[in-house]
Structure 1
C-alpha cells in the first residue's frame, strides 16, 4: 500500500487574516474619502454664505447724498430714464451712457420710475 504525503499546507487563519486586513484597509480608505468630502462640503457652504452676507451688506439701497455739481430732479408723470437723459444730455454725449450712469448713481435695478421719486443726475 502506498501512502501519499502532501506538502501542501492550507492554513485558513492566514487567508482570513489577509482578507480581514484588506477589508480594514478599504474601510479606512472609504472613511478618509468621506472625511475629505465632508470638509470640502463645509468649505463650500461657508463660502456660499460668506458671499451671501457680502451681497446683503453691499449697497445700502439709497444713493448717497448729491455731491457738488450733481443735480437733483423729481420724476413727473410720464417721465422715463430716456426722457430725463435726453434733457440733461449735452451735445455729443451718448444717451445710452447717460441712462446707464443715472441707473448706477441712483442704484436702480430696473428702468421703472415712480412719480415723485427723486433722482440724482451725476456730474460728468
Structure 2
C-alpha cells in the first residue's frame, strides 16, 4: 500500500482554502448582521422609552372628582378600609369587593389610610 504524499497535500491545501473562505463568509455574515442587530436594538430602545414616557404622563396620583352618586368621607383616627366598607355595605356585596372598589376609586396602592385623608366612596 503506497500512498502519495502529494495526495495528502492536495487535500490539506483545499481544506486551508475552504477554511479561509468559510472565515471570510463568517466575517461577512457577522458584519452584515451586526448592523441589523444594532438597528433593531436602537428601534426597540426608542419604542420602549416612548411607551414608558406615555405611561408616565398618562398616570396620575389624584383620582377624578366625585360624581353626584358618590360621597366623600374624611378618615378618622382608628378607621380602616374594612370598617368603612362594613359601614356602607348593604349586605348584598362582599366587604372585600367594597374594599377593592374604594381602593380602586381612590388610586390607593395599599389598604393603609391616614386620619384626615379624604376618600371617595363609590356608589354600590
What's the TM-score bracket when you normalise by the shorter of the two chains? 0.7 to 0.9
Deviates more, 1:99-108 or 1:86-95: 86-95
Cα shift at 1:85:
0.5
DSSP 3-state at the match of 1:119: strand
* CA distance in structure 1 between the aligned counterparts of 2:104 and 2:34, rounded to whole angstroms: 46
Cα shift at 1:55:
2.3
DSSP 3-state at the match of 1:120: strand
Alpha-carbon displacement from aligned partner over 1:19-48 (angstroms, at most 9, x marks no partner)? 766554332211112112212211321232
Residue of structure 2 equivalent to 1:7: none
Residue of structure 2 equivalent to 1:102: 102
Structure 1 regions of 5+ residues with no counterpart?
A: 1-9, 11-15
* CA distance in structure 1 between the aligned counterparts of 2:21 and 2:49, rounded to whole angstroms: 42
Larger radius of gyration: 1
TM-score (norm 1): 0.77
Deviates more, 1:20-29 or 1:38-47: 20-29
Residue of structure 2 equivalent to 1:33: 33
Residue of structure 2 equivalent to 1:116: 116
Residue of structure 2 equivalent to 1:53: 53
RMSD: 2.4
Residue of structure 1 equivalent to 2:13: none
1:63 maps to 2:63: yes
Name the structure with the higher helix share: 2
